Amino acid sequence: MREVELVAHLRPAFTEVLETMFFTSVIDICATGAAAGPPPIISRLRFRGDPSGVFEIGMTGDAARRLAAAFLGEDEQELSESRTGEVVCELANMLCGSFLSRMGDFTFELSHPEIVPSNLEAAGTSMCFELPEGRVAVGVRFGELSQAHA
Amino acid sequence: MPFNVLIVDDSPAMRSFIRRVLDLSGFPVGICAEASDGQEALDLLRGQSIDVILTDINMPRMDGEEFLRRRAQDAHMRSIPALVISTDRTASRVHRMLALGASGYVQKPFAAEGLREELERALGACHARG
């Protein structure tokens, strides 16, 4: 699948999930370079099926707390790091599922999303979304991952 | 009349969100019980009066498919409507879960109104049968 087609599926998946379950909206699509610097919070999961691959999202700690507060309906100052991380992982899970479902009718299995301490280096195709809560980078790469990225 | 709801999901954040959405939707909830996997849900169903189940698919220990299979083997549990909530919207997955006895399938992302409609439809169909 060409990158332009991937982007065509990523964008509506992201918009739908954020608007419906995080009660926010996309302001703009920014260049992936605009998310320069390692995002402090990254969630990664693998998907297995035909095709298989890896899906990641990354954002600043502030953006993560704001999104978590919107999702849970709680005060962002009251949210613990682990609770915020749970929401970031759930966002990654929903985005990945929504994205893959848009690609066609094939069965896939999603791994449990995890917070990982690295850059979005596993991503082959990436986009960056500007939200009122901050920027969220999304990356996807098809193919089995090496142990270093698994 | 309030309904006792069982939420089965390994994500504490998602369980909190579903509770929140149930509240926002105005759906009358009595007891809102939670389980983090299918096995915990089966254990809970044996000891607690539940009117409707909301279950995820991908969970550790016992996933949603196995949970529905085990539920179908018990006459009492089988009578409790179960809605699947999942990000997987592929037709093959939806058909498989419905074939295992799910009363409905709610695709993530979902809004409060949509969840309420599905709950009312499932409970209405259940009462019509009963």
Encoding tokens for residue A25?
Answer: 């909206």
Using an 8 Å CB-CB cutoff, list chain A residues near B18: none
**Contact A89/B86, CB-based, under 8 Å?**
no
Query: Which helix (DSSP H) or strand (DSSP E) does residue B43 occupy?
Result: helix B38-47
Q: Give the Å distances, CA to CA, from B48 to A94, B2, B32, B33, B34.
A: 30, 15, 11, 9, 11
Q: Which positions ≥6 away from A71 have C-beta within 8 Å?
A: A21, A22, A87, A90, A91, B13, B17
Q: Is B20 close to A72, i.e. CB distance below 8 A?
A: yes
**Contact across the interface for B13 and A17, Cβ inside 8 Å:** no
User: Which pLDDT does position A44 carry in this prediction?
Assistant: 93
Helix axes B12-25, A61-72, angle to 10 degrees: 40
Look at residue B103 in the predicted model and tell me its pLDDT.
Answer: 96
Q: Does B17 touch chain A (CB under 8 A)?
A: yes
Give the C-alpha separation, B44 to B114, whole Å.
Answer: 26
Looking at chain A, the whole-number percentage of residues with pLDDT higher than 90 is 53
What is the reported pLDDT for B129? 59
Which residues in chain B touch residue A76, judged by CB atoms under 8 angstroms apart? none
Q: How far is CA A48 from CA A41, A95, A110, B63, in A?
A: 24, 15, 6, 16
- For residues A63-76, one letter each, b for 16 or more C-beta atoms within 10 angstroms of the residue's C-beta and e for the rest, the string is bbbbbbbbbbeeeb
- For residue A18, is pLDDT > 90? yes
Indicate the residue of B17, B91, B92 with minimum beta-carbon distance to A72: B17
The span from the CA of B125 to the CA of B95, in Å, is 18
At A150, the pLDDT band (50, 70, 90 cuts) reads very low
Over residues B11-22, the pLDDT tens digits come to 999 999 999 999
pLDDT at A136 over 60: yes
pLDDT exceeds 90 at position A148: no
Mode of pairing for the β-strands spanning B52-55 and B3-8: parallel
Is the pLDDT at A145 greater than 70? The verdict is no
DSSP state of A77: G
Q: So what's the pLDDT on residue A126?
A: 80
Residue B116 has what pLDDT? Answer: 96
The phi and psi torsions of B3 (rounded to 5 degrees) equal -110, 140
- The nearest alpha carbon in chain A to B19 belongs to A72
Q: Of A18, A36, A40, give the one whose Cα is nearest residue A27.
A: A18
Q: What is the pLDDT of residue A2?
A: 62
**More reliable by pLDDT, A127 or B16:** B16
Q: How many CB atoms lie within 10 A of CB A57?
A: 29
Residue B130 is predicted with a pLDDT of: 55
Separation between Cα atoms, residue A148 and residue B5, nearest integer Å: 42
Q: Which residue has the higher pLDDT, A15 or A121?
A: A15
pLDDT tops 80 at residue A147: no
Q: B109 phi and psi, to 5 degrees?
A: -80, 150
Dist CA B73 CA A123 (whole Å): 44
Does position A45 have pLDDT exceeding 90, yes or no?
yes
Q: Which residues of B touch A68 (CB under 8 A)?
A: 13
Of the candidate ranges A26-35, B26-35, B73-82, the one whose mean pLDDT is the lowest = A26-35
Judging contacts by C-beta atoms under 8 Å, the chain A residues touching residue B86 are 97
Average pLDDT score over residue span A108-123? 77
Identity of the residue in B11, B60, B86 whose CB atom sits nearest the CB atom of A90: B11
CB-nearest to B92 from A19, A94, A105 is: A105
Q: What's the rounded Cα separation, in Å, for the pair B91 and A119?
A: 34
Q: What is the pLDDT of residues B41-70, one digit of tens each?
A: 999 999 999 999 999 998 989 999 999 999
pLDDT, average across residues A38-42: 75
**What tens digit of pLDDT does each residue of B80-125 get?**
999 999 988 788 889 999 999 999 999 999 999 999 999 999 998 7
| A38 band by pLDDT with thresholds 50, 70 and 90 | low
Is A34 a residue whose pLDDT tops 80? Answer: no
A146 has a pLDDT exceeding 60: no
Distance between CA atoms of A96 and A89, rounded to whole angstroms?
A: 11
